[in-house]
């Protein structure tokens, strides 16, 4: 199935000079790092899996992605509980560690919503929506899935490894998702799909577009945290 990129893919590091050092400042340390790394990996797998299930008509994979959202939600609840325990503990906690935990609590809702969006796509895959889509809409969704996976990897690097210099590149990647959203919306007006299918595909386009927005929000929160140090 041919992809339908609207422009050449841009290197995430294109905005940074090769001589410019990469600043790193991870907000995820201590007891919460292990489960946070896992939850970010699960969301990345979910968006990729949901897209593949949709286009391949793989209902088993779609159901697996839907089920994994409960695992993501449970892990996030555990991370929140641990972060709150550390914040209210009598053990001494330096200012930087406290700020890290507070920032983590602010970004976790974005992570949870990103997992929810992957679940929404997977639910439509389980209903066989991919088979009813037009060839062009399938190509656009395929590309949206590729871009969504890329932007999530970049957001993961920003949050887990503190690579705040990639935040600008994340906004560039999000611009491509926005353009794909516009292109897919235009395809819906071509009459190539029935109205019920077009409505569902419009929702798909919105899910991917919102996924990119969450990645931008994640990177901005980390960049703001780093600038405040």
DSSP character at residue 128: T
Instruction: Assess contact for 184 and 193: CB atoms under 8 A.
Output: no
The rounded distance, in Å, linking the Cα atoms of 171 and 84 is: 31
23 part of a folded domain: no
Q: Could you tell me which residue, 226 or 64, shows the higher pLDDT?
A: 64
Q: Which residue has tokens 């656009």?
A: 140
Domain assignment present for 92: yes
Considering the entire predicted model, what is its pTM?
0.84
Q: How far is CA 147 from the centre of its chain?
A: 10
* The pLDDT value given to residue 89: 82
**35 in a structural domain:** yes
Q: Give me the pLDDT at residue 163, please.
A: 79
**Has residue 149 been placed in a domain?**
yes
Tell me which residue range forms the domain holding 36: 30-228
Q: What tens digit of pLDDT does each residue of 112-152 get?
A: 999 999 999 999 999 999 999 999 999 999 999 999 999 99
Helix 195-228 vs helix 167-188: crossing angle, to nearest 10 = 170
* Distance from C-alpha of 124 to C-alpha of 25, rounded to nearest angstrom: 38
Q: What is the CATH number of the domain that holds 42?
A: 1.20.58.220
Residue 182 lies in a domain: yes
In a domain, 16, yes or no: no
DSSP, collapsed to helix, strand or coil, labels residue 81 as helix
| Angle subtended at Cα 138 by Cα 132 and Cα 144, rounded to the nearest 5 degrees | 135
18 token code pair: 């090769």
Confidence band, pLDDT 50/70/90 cuts, at residue 79: very high
pLDDT in tens, 177-212: 999 999 999 999 989 999 999 999 999 999 999 999
The domain tally of the chain equals 1
Say if 18 falls within a structural domain: no
- CA dihedral in degrees (28, 34, 37, 42; nearest 10)? -140
Q: Please give the structure tokens belonging to residue 11.
A: 């290197």
List the end-to-end C-alpha distance of the chain, in Å, as a whole number: 47
pLDDT digits (tens, 9 = 90+) for 35-55: 999 999 999 999 999 999 999
Q: Is residue 4 part of a domain?
A: no
Contacts of 24 (CB under 8 A, 6+ apart): 161, 162, 163, 164
């Amino acid at each position: 199935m041919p992809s339908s990129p609207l422009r050449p893919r841009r290197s995430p590091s294109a905005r940074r000079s090769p001589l410019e050092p990469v600043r790193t400042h991870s907000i995820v340390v201590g007891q919460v790092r292990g489960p946070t790394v896992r939850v970010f990996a699960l969301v990345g797998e979910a968006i990729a899996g949901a897209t593949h299930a949709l286009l391949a008509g793989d209902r088993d994979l779609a159901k697996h992605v839907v089920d994994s959202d409960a695992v993501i939600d449970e892990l996030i609840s555990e991370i929140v509980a641990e972060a709150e325990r550390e914040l209210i503990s009598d053990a001494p906690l330096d200012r930087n560690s406290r700020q890290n935990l507070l920032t983590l609590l602010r970004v976790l809702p974005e992570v949870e919503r990103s997992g929810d969006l992957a679940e929404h796509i997977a639910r439509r895959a389980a209903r066989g929506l991919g088979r009813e889509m037009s060839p062009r809409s399938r190509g656009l969704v395929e590309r949206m899935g590729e871009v969504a996976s890329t932007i999530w990897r970049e957001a993961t690097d920003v949050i887990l490894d503190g690579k705040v210099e990639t935040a600008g590149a994340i906004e560039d990647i999000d611009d491509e998702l926005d353009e794909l959203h516009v292109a897919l919306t235009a395809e819906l007006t071509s009459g190539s799909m029935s109205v019920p299918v077009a409505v569902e595909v419009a929702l798909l386009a919105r899910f991917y577009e919102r996924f990119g927005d969450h990645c931008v929000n994640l990177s901005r929160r980390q960049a703001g945290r780093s600038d405040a140090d």
